[in-house]
Structure 1
Amino acid sequence: MRLVAALILCALAQGSWAQDCRTDTVYLKGDWGQARFSVEIADDVEERAQGLMHRESMPSSAGMLFVYDRPQKLSFWMRNTLIPLDLLFIDATGTIQNIHHSAQPLDETPIRGGSDLTHVLEINGGLAKAMGIVPGTVVRHPTFSNLEADWPC
């Protein structure tokens, strides 16, 4: 049921692309379609360390966007994270480079996203596959500096 609600919300978001970019919203688009997620931002050491730990649920249209100052290798784990998550690893241009699907709650195995990454978007586990989100998908948010010319913030 949550998945159906998320797909409906994302479909409704398709009509709102003309809106100004907001720091609490990310937009995604690719050959599969378009989506919008309300996000919390984790852009300092403390916020990134806390992430989505200890939460028992998250709305299907929500997520957390981790923002880093410079391109780097990124690796995550699920310590103290109670819900399965999809981790979307993104470069400075706003392009998804790698996706880890349905990371298992409480698992401390490193989840390597790759190198030259500046962002990670965490959404509910299973949503990326269900929606068809794949590497190459473009993400729109004010923290990306080199977005494609027809979709800038």
Structure 2
Amino acid sequence: MTFRRPLLASVAALVAAANAPGAFAQPGVDRPQPRLPTERMVIVTRDGRRLDFTIEMALTPDQQTIGLMFRTEVKPDEGMIFDWGQPRESSMWMRNTLVPLDMVFIAADGRIHRIAERTIPLSLTPVDSRGPVRATLELQGGVTEKLDIRVGDRVLHRMFGSQP
């Protein structure tokens, strides 16, 4: 019977730890993933303007699955890029994404192939590239309209064989 008290104390400690806020929180399930490594990216518009962005690099399948889920803010000069490695059809959704985003689908040569503006938070409706793309860039919702970024504009980044 002498082991009972330490055993009960251990069980009580485990229960308390399990009930602590965030004890079983998992990125993408109920909280955002930690900020990913960032790089500089430039979009050159058809009239020659150079627009600078700091982008998080979602390179692994786990990072790409979580993306910007549960984030409460995306700044106007920031975003996240999903590098598919080679051109392919891209289909995204807004599951667990709390803020509207502009999705910029970028061809292998760095040209913007398609833009889906102001996607709907929490929507499960697929947002498709409508053709093969090397990467998908997510920006703050409305920023492409505000900055007049259009299909055909060029993205400068090492991923596309160019430097910003």
**TM-score interval, normalised by the smaller of the two chains:** 0.7 to 0.9
Letter in 2 for 1:79: R
Q: Which range moves more in the overlay, 132-141 or 58-67?
A: 58-67
Is the CA contact (8 Å cut-off) linking 2:102 and 2:140 kept in structure 1? Answer: yes
What residue is the counterpart of 2:113 in the other structure?
97
- Who wins on radius of gyration, i.e. which is larger? 2
What residue is the counterpart of 2:51 in the other structure?
35
Letter in 2 for 1:26: M
Letter in 1 for 2:144: A
- Unaligned runs of 5+ residues in structure 1 are 1-22, 146-151
What residue is the counterpart of 1:57 in the other structure?
73
Letter in 1 for 2:42: Y
- Structure with greater proportional strand content: 1
- From 120, 142, 146, the counterpart of 2:158: 142
- From 91, 101, 111, the counterpart of 1:75: 91
Q: Deviations over 1:61-113 (max 9, x none)?
A: 11001101111001100000001000000011000000000001001100011
Question: Is 1:110 matched with 2:126?
Answer: yes
The DSSP-based 3-state class of the residue aligned with 2:145 is helix
CA distance, structure 2, for counterparts of residue 25 and residue 122 of structure 1? 14
- From 82, 101, 104, the counterpart of 1:85: 101
Letter in 2 for 1:29: V
**How high is the TM-score relative to the length of structure 1?**
0.78
Q: Which range moves more in the overlay, 73-82 or 107-116?
A: 107-116
Root mean square deviation, CA, Å: 1.1
Relative contact order (alpha carbons < 8 A, sep ≥ 6): 1 or 2 greater? 1
CA distance, structure 2, for counterparts of residue 66 and residue 30 of structure 1? 21
What percent of counterpart residues are identical?
33
CA distance, structure 2, for counterparts of residue 24 and residue 81 of structure 1? 22
What residue is the counterpart of 1:119 in the other structure?
135
Letter in 1 for 2:149: I
Q: CA deviation at 1:34?
A: 2.0
The DSSP-based 3-state class of the residue aligned with 1:47 is helix
**How high is the TM-score relative to the length of structure 2?**
0.73
The DSSP-based 3-state class of the residue aligned with 1:117 is strand
The DSSP-based 3-state class of the residue aligned with 2:158 is coil
